[in-house]
Amino acid sequence: MVSNKNGTSLIDHRCVVGVQWGDEGKGKIVDLLSADFDAVVRYQGGANAGHTVLIGEDEFVFHLVPSGILQEGKACIIGNGAVLDLASLIDEMDGLLDRGIEHEEQIYISDRAHIVMPYHKTQDRLKEAASGKGKIGTTLRGIGPCYTDKAARKGIRTADLKDWDRFTSLVEANVESINKELAQIEGETPLDAKEIIQQYKAYRDRLLPRITNIADLLWTYHGEGKRILFEGAQGALLDLDHGTYPFVTSSSTSFLGLGPGTGFSPRQVKTVLGITKAYTTRVGGGPFPTELDNPLGEELRRAGGEFGATTGRPRRCGWIDLFALRYTIRFSDIDAMVITKLDVLDEMDSLQVCVGYEGVGTIEDHGNCFPTDLEGPIQPIYRDVPGWKGQKTTEARSLEELPQQAIDYLQYIADAVQCPIAIVSVGKERTQIIDLDPWLMPRNQVEAGRG
Ligand code: GDP
Ligand code: IMO
Ligand code: MG
């Protein structure tokens, strides 16, 4: 019996999602937590993601392979909601093998996941080039066009690799259609369907044994009482529906994407952790109210090593935006936050936190509302908070070992967004972590006896 009468799971399945614009440190946290789980599942996004895990001196960046792969024997599952660049996936798997990590048998790929085809990358590139100033600044990994084909019902799924005639005719039809578009654009050469099909034959031979019905697998694990950890990619503000549209990615990046992305029920997931940096970053175009386009922002970029794990682009940096955070915490149904990169603030003279936007509102008077359109210059409303310059957080392994100002900073965040903090990360390395037990609760919730 793994569910109670209300259907709520008795197993502590968990979900880890980003609650900013991505790159919050999900990879590190998923790697850490997966030690206590049987399976780790990626359920949306594609090779646009770059999830970094550092173990000692060894750095790994995962794009499609779930970040639990470095913990021995965990099933690492890619759900139907993800879009798969097969070449990139195989590259990643080969990279692991080159580093002596035998893992092939741990990987399971949904037979309903859509495949990112070479023409999707071409379409991504052309669309961005044609968008001029309004371009999204995508990762050029073909993500948008692949999800577009999925919604238009002309996508190619991993299941199609099992039926070669079907796969071949789908590729031929799609290539014929894009070649018509390419013929209109100067300097573009047509794609060769035969060449693509040949390439994919090799991918198929390698991956076919790993392709299976993921929903069935997850429900079976659930029935056996196994623990499942779900790993979101990107972050809630990049969510197709609830993010800063149109400057978003093309999938449901919050906890809410878990159901459609796996065929497993979000109702069975007991704990949802929202990962946020102690400040904010964004890579690509789009609104970013607390951006520090000045030496302070550069200082954050330097101290935090803020360069994209997938594209190497410098990330835009700014103060933590509690107004945005409170919004994403609610719609992503977060139980507790994980605050990462607290150590990056160690050298800051003073800190600011954003509690609202001029003309829009503040957390205090506006609660969880966040504007649908963040257009024009947005003036953040800041509060000054004391920093802890010169005191290091990197060696702390308990709350008490942190400087008092750092504890106050964390408490301020928990109070403002009305969400407890479960974990604090104080460095890149796996062991640089403060596991808060009990969680650091918002003060009013403690007073009300809910702590
Ligand atoms: P993800 O996409 O959410 O997995 O995050 P990325 O891997 O793209 O970016 C996070 C970066 O911050 C990586 O380089 C991590 O190694 C690093 N990182 C994670 N947690 C911490 C931390 O607490 N402190 C510092 N200094 N770096 C961290
Ligand atoms: P992880 O999982 C940060 C951003 C791109 C661009 C927008 C759309 O590592 O946190 P896309 O290629 O998805 O069509 O680009 O989304 N973006 C990310 N930003 N982290 C990511 O993933 C991202 N994946 C996409 O920079 O602004
Ligand atoms: Mg990343």
pLDDT in tens, 44-59: 999 999 999 999 999 9
- The one-letter code for the residue type at 327 is Y
Minimum mean pLDDT range among 223-232, 296-305, 371-380: 371-380
Report the C-alpha gap between 182 and 132 in whole angstroms. Answer: 19
Residue 291: count of CB within 10 angstroms of its CB: 18
The whole-model pTM stands at: 0.97
The pLDDT of residue 156 is 98
Q: Among all ligands shown, which has an atom nearest to the Cα of 61? A: 1
- The one-letter code for the residue type at 75 is A
The pLDDT of residue 339 is 98
The superfamily (CATH) of domain 114-210 is Adenylosuccinate Synthetase, subunit A, domain 2 (1.10.300.10)
Distance 26 CA to ligand 3 centre (A): 8
The pLDDT of residue 7 is 59
Task: Quick: pLDDT tens for 172-205.
Answer: 999 999 999 999 999 999 999 999 999 999 999 9
Catalytic residues: 23, 51
Ligand 2 touching residue 138 (CB < 6 A):
yes
Ligand 1 touching residue 427 (CB < 6 A):
yes
Distance 108 CA to ligand 1 centre (A): 26
Report the C-alpha gap between 44 and 80 in whole angstroms. Answer: 8
Q: Among all ligands shown, which has an atom nearest to the Cα of 282? A: 2
> Does residue 6 register a pLDDT over 70?
no
Mean predicted confidence (pLDDT) in 291-309: 96
Name the class of domain 13-99+214-447.
alpha beta
Ligand 2 touching residue 17 (CB < 6 A):
no
> Does residue 5 register a pLDDT over 60?
no
Residue 239: count of CB within 10 angstroms of its CB: 26
Band of residue 369 on the pLDDT scale cut at 50, 70, 90:
confident
Report the C-alpha gap between 83 and 199 in whole angstroms. Answer: 18
Are 421 and 337 within 8 A, CB to CB? yes
Task: Quick: pLDDT tens for 58-102.
Answer: 999 999 999 999 999 999 999 999 999 999 999 999 999 999 999
Q: Whose CA is nearest to atom 26 of ligand 2?
A: 284
- Using DSSP, state whether 269 is helix, strand or coil: strand
Q: Which residue has the tokens 């099909």?
A: 197
24 CA: nearest ligand 2 atom: 10
Choose between 310 and 270: higher pLDDT.
270
Band of residue 8 on the pLDDT scale cut at 50, 70, 90:
low
> Does residue 347 register a pLDDT over 90?
yes
- Sign of the dihedral defined by the CA atoms of residues 173, 196, 69, 217, in that order: positive
Distance 405 CA to ligand 3 centre (A): 28
Domain range annotation of the chain:
13-99+214-447, 114-210
Query: What secondary structure letter does DSSP report for 305?
Result: T
> Does residue 1 register a pLDDT over 70?
no
Distance 279 CA to ligand 2 centre (A): 18
